[in-house]
């Protein structure tokens, strides 16, 4: 039976796309790989064949040779952009070395196409809306890692004939997102804080702008990224058209959760205004911007309240303490 491999299957994109494929594309078997460093096994649909493995260090040939793998979604990553300068080695190992291993496996086992999720982080302080033709200029190790992977995927295409599609998602949120990590996923951090009786926190004055993309709207486009002929060898931004200031997004959350105090923290080194073009995703992947932030966030809040109580993840030892923000010490 034809198979699809999803790396990072316990995470937001991985677990949700795995379930979508199981339900909508029954001709494919879904093989999931994850080391559970940032995702939860209970988020993986029981019909997925799951392998617990670390992509940065484990041999993937056993998994790939046991299945007839047609498409690979390479979603696994540690996407803590602001923290990445303080965990450089981990960032590059987990994001770049892991991707090299996945590419090796794809070439060795004649995979039809790899879909790699890069990030809007590759654009750095570009001029929004970021366009796929802009020259990337990342401003942190996470963005640099994603850009390096993008280039490596393309070189594997040129030299070894591996077909690819690179997706640059932006601020995807929804049910199954990790809300227990204090370093990433702003909406998830706020939800955790509200659930634990803490004020919600904002870095700087909240005038930063982002567009928040609801996971359900991204699933069919992700499938098309693997299957549609027109998505072959394309780099495509993916996500919502509407941008919000962080402060106004916090206001929307406050309404949904019935109020919450806001605590302003020191400004971070981060891109101030970041949102992308969407035309290419609409034309090539059939993206439709259906779910507005208030609706998507209300659904995520409903889900979050039913989740088990977990401790927030705190990095046990940073690689670099110099320049570390007070709020992470």
Residues engaged in binding ligand NAD (CB under 6 A): 8, 10-14, 34-39, 54-56, 75-79, 94, 98, 117, 119, 169-172, 178
Q: Cβ 176 to ligand NAD, closest distance in Å?
A: 8
Specify the residue, 171 or 193, whose C-beta has the smaller distance to ligand NAD: 171
Specify the residue, 111 or 172, whose C-beta has the smaller distance to ligand NAD: 172
Please list, residue by residue across 261-287, b when 16 or more beta carbons sit within 10 angstroms of its beta carbon and e when fewer do. Answer: eeeeeeeeeebebbbbbbebbeebbeb
Q: What share of the chain is helix, strand, coil (3-state, %, to 5)?
A: 40, 20, 40
Instruction: From 100, 78, 91, select the one nearest 11 (Cα to Cα).
Output: 78
Closest chain position to ligand NAD (CB): 11
Instruction: From 42, 19, 54, 319, select the one nearest 180 (Cα to Cα).
Output: 42
Specify the residue, 28 or 183, whose C-beta has the smaller distance to ligand NAD: 183
Q: Cβ 319 to ligand NAD, closest distance in Å?
A: 16
Residue 229 neighbours by CB under 8 Å, 6+ apart: none
Q: Cβ 97 to ligand NAD, closest distance in Å?
A: 8
Q: Cβ 43 to ligand NAD, closest distance in Å?
A: 8
Sequence-distant contacts of 63-66: CB under 8 A, at least 24 apart: 63/5, 63/31, 63/33, 63/105, 64/5, 64/105, 64/108, 64/109, 64/111, 65/109
Specify the residue, 14 or 136, whose C-beta has the smaller distance to ligand NAD: 14
Q: Cβ 11 to ligand NAD, closest distance in Å?
A: 2
Specify the residue, 218 or 257, whose C-beta has the smaller distance to ligand NAD: 218
Instruction: From 68, 70, 69, 25, select the one nearest 45 (Cα to Cα).
Output: 25
Q: Which residue has the tokens 């931004």?
A: 237
Q: Cβ 130 to ligand NAD, closest distance in Å?
A: 12
Instruction: From 308, 196, 313, 208, select the one nearest 250 (Cα to Cα).
Output: 208
φ, ψ dihedrals at 56, nearest 5°:
-80, -20
Specify the residue, 102 or 197, whose C-beta has the smaller distance to ligand NAD: 102
Specify the residue, 89 or 263, whose C-beta has the smaller distance to ligand NAD: 89
Q: Cβ 271 to ligand NAD, closest distance in Å?
A: 13
CA distance readout (Å), 27 to 3, 69, 103, 137? 8, 13, 24, 41
């Amino acid at each position: 039976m034809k198979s699809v491999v999803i790396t990072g299957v316990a995470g937001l994109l991985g677990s949700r796309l795995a379930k979508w494929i199981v339900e909508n594309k029954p001709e494919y078997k879904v093989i999931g790989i994850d080391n559970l460093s940032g995702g939860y096994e209970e988020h993986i649909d029981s019909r997925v064949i799951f392998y617990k493995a670390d992509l940065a260090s484990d041999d993937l040939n056993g998994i790939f040779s046991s299945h007839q793998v047609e498409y690979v979604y390479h979603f696994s990553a540690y996407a803590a952009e602001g923290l990445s300068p303080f965990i450089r080695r981990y960032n590059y190992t987990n994001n770049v070395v892991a991707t090299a291993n996945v590419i090796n496996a794809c070439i060795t086992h004649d995979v039809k196409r790899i879909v790699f999720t890069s990030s809007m982080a590759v654009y750095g302080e570009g001029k929004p809306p970021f366009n796929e033709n802009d020259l990337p200029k990342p401003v942190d190790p996470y963005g640099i890692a994603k850009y390096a992977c993008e280039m490596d995927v393309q070189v594997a295409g040129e030299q070894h004939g591996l077909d690819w599609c690179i997706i640059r998602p932006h601020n995807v949120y929804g049910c199954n997102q990790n809300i227990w990590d204090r370093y990433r996923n702003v909406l998830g951090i706020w939800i955790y804080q509200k659930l634990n009786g803490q004020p919600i926190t904002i870095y700087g004055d909240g005038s930063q702008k982002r567009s928040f993309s609801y996971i359900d709207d991204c699933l069919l486009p992700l499938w098309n990224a693997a299957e549609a002929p027109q998505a072959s060898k394309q780099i495509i931004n993916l996500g919502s058209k509407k941008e919000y200031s962080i402060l106004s997004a916090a206001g929307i959350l406050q309404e949904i959760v019935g109020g919450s105090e806001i605590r302003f923290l020191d400004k971070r080194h981060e891109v101030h205004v970041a949102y992308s073009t969407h035309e290419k995703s609409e034309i090539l992947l059939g993206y439709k911007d259906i779910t507005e932030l208030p609706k998507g966030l209300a659904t995520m809040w409903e889900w979050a309240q039913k989740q088990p109580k977990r401790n927030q993840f705190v990095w046990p030892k940073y690689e670099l303490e110099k320049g570390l923000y007070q709020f992470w010490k």
